[in-house]
Amino acid sequence: MKVLMYGWEFPPHNSGGLGVACYGLTRALVGEGADVRFVLPRKYPVAQTGAKMVFADEANPLDATQARIYASGYVKEGDIEFLRGKYPELQYGPSLFDEVLRYAALSPLVALQQGADVIHAHDWLCIPAGLAAKEALGVPLVVHIHATEFDRTGFGQVNQGIYDIERRGVHEADKVFAVSAYTRQLLIDRYGADPDKVEVMHNGIDADDSAVASAIEGEMRRLKEAGVGIVLFVGRLTLQKGPDYFLAAARKVLSHRPDTIFVVSGSGDMSKRIINDAAAMGISDKMLFTGFLREKELARLYKCADLVVMPSVSEPFGIVPLEALLNGTPVLISKQSGVAEVVHNSLKTDFWDTDEMANKIISVLDHPALRETLATEGGRDARAQVWRKVAARCMMMYTKLLKVLSHA
Amino acid sequence: MSAVCLYFQVHQPRRIKRYRFFDIGNDHEYFNDLGERDTNNGRVLRKVASKCYLPANESILHNLNAYPEFKASFSLSGVALEQFEEYAPEVIDSFKRLVDTGRIEILAETYYHSLSFLRSPDEFREQVRMHADKVHELFGVTPYVFRNTELIFRNDIAEQVADMGYLGMLAEGADQLMGWRKPTFVYHAKNDPTFKLLLKHYKLSDDIAFRFSNKDWEEWPLTAPKFANWVNAHNGDGHLINLFMDYETFGEHQWEDTGIFEFLRAMPHEVLQHPDNSFVTPTEALTNYAPVGEIDAPNYVSWADVERDLSAWMSNPIQHDALRAFFDMEQEVKRSGDEDILRDWRRLSTSDHFYYMCTKWFQDGDVHKYFSPYESPYEAFIAYMNVLSDMRLRLKGVPKRKRSAWESVAHKARGVLQAIKS
């Protein structure tokens, strides 16, 4: 099975979950015996997976910093404007849309050079490139949706151009993979996707590629033994991730259980607002903002937390709860998240129900038995979600797709 | 000859409403959900009454009228009886009509369908006495035979029940208890030839209770003549066919459209076609047949799940913790002399609260999930523990939870940051 896969970012210089998912899936597909050619728009150093890496534009390589800044699937046009001023030396296209189209323009040549049984394109950034490759080779196209414009904007200001590309991709693909049943429903409801065409393909996690720490050390251990509850938020500080709901719940918890620390790990356009709001609520001394943390630091944080909360407003999947569980920490997740479909043994609330969120946080902090049961049973759920299983299912879908089309 | 001994369990717990941390100290009504959730006890009770209890009683009454030989027995938990009185009194009347025929036996159990036997022999006895009083008050009869919550059995329980003067008790005919022996005979308890035991024929009982509507089962559809043939096949192979099951089998677990009520009405006729067959009540069975051997149960046996042990109620840390916290309060609750607190505490002894906290196969959407009014075992635990916290406050006579002083942990926060960055 020869798979030509179009991605936008790839570890180690990824800025979002898309790169992590692409890495995990690619590595596992290679393990399943697939011949994967993974295409990126520009050349920069990437992690090894066993797949052949192909760069659409070999001529203009990026260094690590440039790659991280520009590779994100989450950048906005506004950010681009800002960055263009800051990095005039960058040879990248004049806008994100231009860059997406550039990728599509280079795609047919890549496709003809590499050849493929099936084309697999991730998210809107790669949809035009995927469609172009399909046209060039006449083989089936799988469009894999990790996040829609509705998720990224929290159902707010949807960019019509991006929506239109997503819509075309969903309609013109031969098969659509949605990262969760939650996302699948969204594609059907908001994009008019044919339900028969959309398959749920949950993300996986492997113990070795997540941030897993071995032990809690010194100071942290003493804090825990002193009975201080530690509640952790990990994610970009954007509307989509619901940090404001985390803050509201924190305030409610603190009025009943002052000996609790709320740790916010991540950065984003809401950083300032969240810090200011915490101050206005008078709970700054119980809040800890770590900024963006690298894997080892993040792993330690997971390990020392009593509970990880993911209050996302709209989360197509959400890998954070799986990382937390692999580190032995239980999770509280919003019902508006795809990961809730695979982590059965977790606490769940609506993202807006901060009363219930606070109730559950307090319960976990007050009852070690609850923490233990959630960690044990939830850990089982997380360990069952290995990429190998996802890739096997993916291979099955490719085969089925080829069979159906050859009979048509 | 085969004597069919029917026993149906009738039970409805008082489910705890969604009770949050913020309700502690402010709300002492734990069971009064009036909303759309399945923790609305009145709503659940009326639904089950119309789907199961009333039509099933009609079928039983029909059988009693049509066949003078037909007999059966019921165990009705006290907590179910008081909810019938509260939400569906017509169910009580309907049961009265059955009992009045003189061919329906009522069994003894703990009033609250509780796990009190686990830690508190005193509480266990008290609840059995309360239940006997309630049965006498409503039906004018006194139970002679005991059945414990979910047929949970062990040597020491038999000892206690024998000591209370009961004739015998019911137990699950589990493989680990029976070995090569058959449940079609009467047995006696360990070291007590006078205290007799009836063992559930789990194969034939579960054919009706669990497999009746299962289309993947090779015997589907189960018809009354087919079932009567299986009963007949036991002739010469013992005296008794003990068919023990939840009464909710009829109309609630097996829906009306599966033909379960037709089966219930047709079964007696088919069984009685064979001249050697009959129906008996538990008391008759224990009186008519001499024990053929001793049952030694050093470990708990129940009728729940495939394990047929206590794991449905106490296998994970949250279940153990909730049980511990519950029993820890007993002395203080009883010393308080407060009737309301004692009643609420006893309502919390009901086994179902702990069943809802079970995480065995939670992911597969199995029976625990089907029978739970909560979204997850964790919701059940949280509500339960919050209620216990409120109970503790009531015991202290503190009407309202005081806001605790704000102590700064900022230096500790800095410590965390240091530790992470190091």
Residue bearing tokens 């954007």:
A238
B220 touches chain A (CB under 8 A): no
Min CA distance, B243 vs chain A (Å)?
36
Q: Which residues of B278-288 are buried (b: 16+ CB within 10 A; e: fewer)?
A: bbbbbbbbbee
- pLDDT for B306 beyond 90: no
Whether residues B420 and A363 touch (CB distance < 8 A) is answered with no
| Beta-carbon count within 10 A of B214 CB | 15
Q: Which residues of B51-62 are buried (b: 16+ CB within 10 A; e: fewer)?
A: bbbebbbebbee
Strand partners, B199: B171
The pLDDT-based confidence of A216 (bands split at 50, 70, 90) is: very low
Domain shared by A147 and A272, yes or no: no
The amino acid sitting at A86 is K
In B, which residues are within 8 Å of A264 by CB distance? none
For A344, which residue in chain B has the nearest alpha carbon?
B363
Q: Which residues of B342-363 are buried (b: 16+ CB within 10 A; e: fewer)?
A: eebbbbbbbbbbbbbbbbbebb
CA diameter of chain B: 86
- Residue of B193, B141, B194, B185 whose CA lies nearest to B166: B194
Q: What are the CA-CA distances from residue B304 to residues A311, B27, B308, B310 (Å)?
A: 37, 34, 5, 8
CA B150 remoteness from chain centre: 5
Compare CB distances from A360 to B382, B413, B416 and report the shortest one's residue.
Answer: B382
The amino acid sitting at A323 is E
Residue bearing tokens 């879908």:
A397
Between A97-101, B100-104, B162-166, B259-263, the lowest mean confidence (pLDDT) is in: A97-101
Which H or E run contains B306?
none
Give mean pLDDT, residues B98-116: 98
Residue B123 half-sphere exposure toward CB, CA atoms < 13 A? 25
Domain shared by A57 and A185, yes or no: yes
User: Is A311 in contact with A351 (CB distance < 8 Å)?
Assistant: yes
- pLDDT for B126 beyond 50: yes
Long-range CB contacts for residues A272-281, cutoff 8 Å, separation at least 24: A273/A244, A274/A237, A274/A243, A274/A244, A274/A247, A277/A244, A277/A247, A278/A247, A278/A250, A281/A247, A281/A251
By annotation, the residues of B acting in catalysis are 150
- pLDDT for A210 beyond 70: no
Give mean pLDDT, residues A150-163: 88
Q: How far apart are CA A271 and CA A267, in angstroms?
A: 6
- Residue of A346, A31, A35, A394 whose CA lies nearest to A206: A31
A367 touches chain B (CB under 8 A): yes
Compare CB distances from A370 to B318, B408, B421 and report the shortest one's residue.
Answer: B318
Strand partners, A200: A178
Instruction: Please give the pLDDT value at position B6.
Output: 98
- pLDDT for B151 beyond 80: yes
Give mean pLDDT, residues B361-389: 82
Task: Tally the domains of chain A.
Answer: 2
Instruction: Please give the pLDDT value at position A95.
Output: 78
The pLDDT-based confidence of B402 (bands split at 50, 70, 90) is: very low
Domain shared by A14 and A122, yes or no: yes
What average pLDDT is seen over chain B? 92
A263 touches chain B (CB under 8 A): yes
Min CA distance, B379 vs chain A (Å)?
8
A375 is a domain residue: yes
Instruction: Please give the pLDDT value at position A98.
Output: 86
User: Is B243 in contact with B7 (CB distance < 8 Å)?
Assistant: yes
A211 is a domain residue: no
Instruction: Please give the pLDDT value at position A296.
Output: 81
Give mean pLDDT, residues A174-192: 97
The pLDDT-based confidence of A214 (bands split at 50, 70, 90) is: very low
User: Is B112 in contact with B79 (CB distance < 8 Å)?
Assistant: yes
A139 contacts: CB under 8 Å, gap ≥ 6: A116, A117, A118, A119
Min CA distance, A178 vs chain B (Å)?
22
How large is the angle between the packed helices B224-232 and B260-272, nearest 10 degrees?
Answer: 40
Instruction: Please give the pLDDT value at position B49.
Output: 98
- pLDDT for B78 beyond 50: yes
Domain shared by A261 and A377, yes or no: yes
Domain shared by A47 and A126, yes or no: yes
- pLDDT for A74 beyond 90: no
A280 is a domain residue: yes
Q: Could you tell me the two tokens for A317?
A: 């999947």
For A297, which residue in chain B has the nearest alpha carbon?
B420
Question: What is this structure's pTM?
Answer: 0.87
Domain shared by A141 and A160, yes or no: yes
Q: How far apart are CA A239 and CA A154, in angstroms?
A: 6
Domain shared by A60 and A193, yes or no: yes
Domain of residue A200, CATH code: 3.40.50.2000
Q: Could you tell me the two tokens for B370?
A: 């089907």
pLDDT tens digits for range A284-293: 989 988 888 8
CA B265 remoteness from chain centre: 24
pLDDT tens digits for range B191-235: 999 999 999 999 999 999 999 999 999 999 999 999 999 999 988
Give ranges for CATH 3.20.110.20 in chain B.
Answer: 3-295
B235 contacts: CB under 8 Å, gap ≥ 6: B1, B2, B274, B276, B277
Q: What are the CA-CA distances from residue B235 to residues B71, B181, B232, B271, B286 (Å)?
A: 19, 16, 5, 12, 19
Instruction: Please give the pLDDT value at position B362.
Output: 63
- pLDDT for A45 beyond 70: yes
User: Is B368 in contact with B376 (CB distance < 8 Å)?
Assistant: no
In B, which residues are within 8 Å of A360 by CB distance? 378, 382
Backbone angles phi, psi at B294, to 5 degrees: -105, 140
Whether residues A363 and B382 touch (CB distance < 8 A) is answered with yes
Q: How far apart are CA B202 and CA B389, in angstroms?
A: 40
DSSP-based three-state secondary structure for B114: strand
The pLDDT-based confidence of A226 (bands split at 50, 70, 90) is: confident
- pLDDT for A16 beyond 80: no
pLDDT tens digits for range A312-343: 999 999 999 999 999 999 999 999 999 999 99
Domain shared by A271 and A294, yes or no: yes
Q: How far apart are CA B9 and CA B4, in angstroms?
A: 16
Give one DSSP letter per residue of A291-359, joined into a string. Answer: ES--HHHHHHHHHH-SEEEE--SSBSS-SHHHHHHHTT--EEEETTBGGGGT--SSEEE-TT-HHHHHH
| Three-state DSSP string of B349-394 | CEHHHHHCCCCCCHHHCCHHHHHCCCCCHHHHHHHHHHHHHHHHHH
Give mean pLDDT, residues A30-49: 93
Min CA distance, B353 vs chain A (Å)?
15
Q: How far apart are CA B132 and CA B111, in angstroms?
A: 8
Strand B192-200, strand B187-189: pairing: antiparallel
Which H or E run contains A56?
strand A52-57
Q: Running DSSP on this structure, what letter comes out for residue B401?
A: P
B418 touches chain A (CB under 8 A): yes
Domain shared by A167 and A21, yes or no: yes
Q: How far apart are CA A361 and CA A355, in angstroms?
A: 10
Whether residues B386 and A259 touch (CB distance < 8 A) is answered with no
Phi-psi region of B215 (alpha: psi -120 to 50; beta: other; left: phi over 0): alpha
A263 is a domain residue: yes
A307 is a domain residue: yes
- pLDDT for A183 beyond 70: yes
CA dihedral A132, A138, A140, A146 (to 10 degrees): -10
Whether residues B416 and A223 touch (CB distance < 8 A) is answered with yes
Min CA distance, B304 vs chain A (Å)?
21
Q: Which of residues 286-305 of A touch B (CB under 8 A)?
A: 286-288, 290, 293, 297, 300-301, 304
Domain shared by A358 and A312, yes or no: yes
What is the radius of gyration, based on Cα positions, of chain B? 23
- Edge-first strand order for the sheet with A175-178 is A52-57, A35-42, A2-6, A118-122, A141-145, A175-178, A198-200
Give one DSSP letter per residue of B194-235, joined into a string. Answer: EEEEEEE-HHHHHHHHTTTT-TTSTTPSP-HHHHHHHHHTTT
Structural domain of A266? 218-383
Whether residues A347 and B376 touch (CB distance < 8 A) is answered with yes
Q: What are the CA-CA distances from residue A169 to residues A39, A141, A189, A306, A338 (Å)?
A: 18, 9, 15, 42, 21
For B18, which residue in chain A has the nearest alpha carbon?
A356
Residue to substitute from B382, B389, B404, B421, interface A, most A β-carbons within 10 A: B382
Domain shared by A236 and A358, yes or no: yes
Domain shared by A276 and A184, yes or no: no
Whether residues A285 and B413 touch (CB distance < 8 A) is answered with yes
Q: How far apart are CA A269 and CA A221, in angstroms?
A: 33
What average pLDDT is seen over chain A? 89
Q: Could you tell me the two tokens for A25?
A: 């899936």
| Beta-carbon count within 10 A of A99 CB | 20
Q: Could you tell me the two tokens for A111?
A: 């496709």
A133 is a domain residue: yes
Between A62-76, B186-200, B237-251, the lowest mean confidence (pLDDT) is in: A62-76
For B375, which residue in chain A has the nearest alpha carbon?
A348
Instruction: Please give the pLDDT value at position B421.
Output: 64
Q: How far apart are CA B92 and CA B211, in angstroms?
A: 29
CATH number assigned to the domain covering B3-295? 3.20.110.20
Give one DSSP letter per residue of B155-169, joined into a string. Answer: HHHHHHHHHTT-SEE
Q: How far apart are CA A372 and CA A364, in angstroms?
A: 9
User: Is A60 in contact with A90 (CB distance < 8 Å)?
Assistant: no
DSSP-based three-state secondary structure for A142: strand
State whether ipTM is beyond 0.90. Answer: no
In A, which residues are within 8 Å of B403 by CB distance? 255-256
- pLDDT for B349 beyond 70: yes
- pLDDT for A75 beyond 60: no
